[in-house]
Structure 1
């Protein structure tokens, strides 16, 4: 009888554990911002015991759209999660088949913010943002790049050039597989200017290998000694946010459970400590307000893409 009771108890425990386990999609290669956020989520869910044994998997391609095409088929499953941000919203809008949209997802929470920074080699003649925008007006063949086409860096660069009176349609963006690869290309003499996530560029900035000309934040950020574009008279800003989503079709109980778990995670000291270590900026915005933010953000990104000539 004792053995039967023990077996039953172990079965119930295993079942409960399986039900609380999440599968988290990072729709990008390992090592990038989406992958880091997904693994931080899984690690915090485990160490806080909110949902042990969460599994992360990667499906890269098309700025996140390739992975999402399969993810949205798991409609109604509250234990399937995906992390992405601004770049993937842009990728959805530039995707040729239009097979995925925000209507296919349940926004759970906005979790982190990052900012773009325009950088040039330390030996560059461009010492200020004004120098750079003037150079672009006289030389539209300036080699400008960073991560993928329609990435946060591409959008911010276009925003800066347009706000300073330049012809943004002449911007010829040179894409790399990621921010780090773009910086390496610039240091190798293949690019004149790069727009990168500040977190990726920080070590090169502090080491003096590159010069930071402008940060995409709305106002000066404590601890970051880089002027914003707005400080320099250019009305341009961009927040490169990332959040977590579930498939569409969750019932009320599923949404409530998921919102509770992610809310407790975002307020935990383990989560905040991990983000500091990873040089990510915590910004928790729960589901309802996150969904409202997304409605406005989608329209803004659509306008930026149209200005760049990437959509009609």
Structure 2
């Protein structure tokens, strides 16, 4: 990971605070937050919480959440639309973004690499050694195929110099599926959100091997991947994209809405409640970051055998 990419994980908040003032004028049309169904993770929750903040602060006349399939055709249909109030929810696995205009990265959840308490994997070094020796010998568990957890498992293998094509991954889309698999030993290791697993780690039910944040987290007593020898920072992030066909002034107005949400006390409280990190980023920095992030996600998902 290059230094600039690393810094962009923490950029934006100071600049947002410095530019914070009165809320922008309300959007003159209803705001529609479009959630691609195939991305996985907490897209609908993110969109619903964003809708509540927009409504509470009066940033739009109305706000609704809708869904699309998330395939190339659906994203193309979104990109070709000229509605002034439509925003597409983006995340780690949404790699087909042609025709869209990046607006802002809003928040994300850091991940933790886990092992069962009775496992021979006592620390991250043990997992790293096993993956380097034979990636397919370690069954990794996480959320849905193609989601943020799956992406991180592939990036982790690549960061260790292992062949991501050989990674053995078991998907547990249901809420407590990965926890159950760790507790009964069906997987050797797993990847999940810090907010979900921190209570289980504190209770001694599963072991934390490393966290994916740039710095250590107060919720989990574990080193970062960077400390552990893997040049990798990763979050189950959420951002917002507009259609590239929008006029520049309409796009700027939508960006003002993003900034109004990101700088609000309501959004800060929402992020704290869900254990999300405020990862706000917009402008050219977000454009650059998203281009690099989408490319590495697309490449690793291809390595993992998922057609993009």
Tell me, yes or no, whether TM beats 0.5: yes
Q: SS of the counterpart of 2:196? A: helix
Q: SS of the counterpart of 1:211? A: strand
Aligned to 1:221: 217
CA deviation digits over 1:47-73, x for unaligned, max 9? 1111253111334x5xx4379447516
CA deviation digits over 1:135-166, x for unaligned, max 9? 34257332212123333222322333333343
Aligned to 1:39: 48
Which of 250, 265, 283 does residue 254 from structure 1 map onto? 250
Residue 175 to residue 236, structure 1, CA distance change in 2 (3 Å): same
More deviation, 196-205/299-308: 299-308
Mapped contact 1:120–1:211 kept (Cα < 8 A): yes
Which 5+ residue runs of structure 1 have no aligned equivalent? 1-15, 90-100
In the alignment, the residues of structure 2 paired with residue 125 and residue 235 of structure 1 have an alpha-carbon distance, to the nearest angstrom, of 24
Which 5+ residue runs of structure 2 have no aligned equivalent? 1-24
Does residue 80 in structure 1 map to residue 86 in structure 2? yes
Does residue 207 in structure 1 map to residue 193 in structure 2? no
Which of 99, 104, 107 does residue 104 from structure 1 map onto? 99
Instruction: Describe how 1:262-281 pairs up with structure 2 within 5 A.
Output: 262-281=258-277
Q: Which has the higher contact order (CA 8 A, sep 6+)?
A: 2
Does residue 25 in structure 1 map to residue 34 in structure 2? yes
CA RMSD across the alignment: 3.0
Residue 160 to residue 310, structure 1, CA distance change in 2 (3 Å): same
Does residue 65 in structure 1 map to residue 71 in structure 2? yes
After the TM superposition, which segments of 4 or more aligned residues of structure 1 sit over 4 Å from their partners?
306-312
Larger helix percent: 1
In the alignment, the residues of structure 1 paired with residue 115 and residue 175 of structure 2 have an alpha-carbon distance, to the nearest angstrom, of 13
Mapped contact 1:45–1:52 kept (Cα < 8 A): no
Which of 185, 209, 217 does residue 189 from structure 1 map onto? 185
For these two proteins, the number of residue pairs brought into alignment is: 283
Residue 87 to residue 286, structure 1, CA distance change in 2 (3 Å): same
Mapped contact 2:26–2:58 kept (Cα < 8 A): no
Which of 126, 149, 170 does residue 131 from structure 1 map onto? 126
In the alignment, the residues of structure 1 paired with residue 99 and residue 174 of structure 2 have an alpha-carbon distance, to the nearest angstrom, of 27
Residue 180 to residue 283, structure 1, CA distance change in 2 (3 Å): same
State which structure, 1 or 2, has the greater radius of gyration over its C-alpha atoms.
1
Taking structure 2 as the reference length, the TM-score comes to 0.80
In the alignment, the residues of structure 2 paired with residue 310 and residue 58 of structure 1 have an alpha-carbon distance, to the nearest angstrom, of 22
Q: SS of the counterpart of 1:140? A: helix
Mapped contact 1:156–1:237 kept (Cα < 8 A): no
Which of 280, 283, 286 does residue 284 from structure 1 map onto? 280
Which of 290, 296, 302 does residue 294 from structure 1 map onto? 290
In the alignment, the residues of structure 1 paired with residue 35 and residue 71 of structure 2 have an alpha-carbon distance, to the nearest angstrom, of 11
Mapped contact 1:159–1:237 kept (Cα < 8 A): no
Residue 134 to residue 276, structure 1, CA distance change in 2 (3 Å): same
Mapped contact 1:169–1:307 kept (Cα < 8 A): yes
Does residue 144 in structure 1 map to residue 140 in structure 2? yes
CA deviation digits over 1:218-266, x for unaligned, max 9? 3323444221122123333323321011222101221121111211121
In the alignment, the residues of structure 2 paired with residue 181 and residue 26 of structure 1 have an alpha-carbon distance, to the nearest angstrom, of 23
Q: SS of the counterpart of 2:89? A: strand
Taking structure 1 as the reference length, the TM-score comes to 0.79
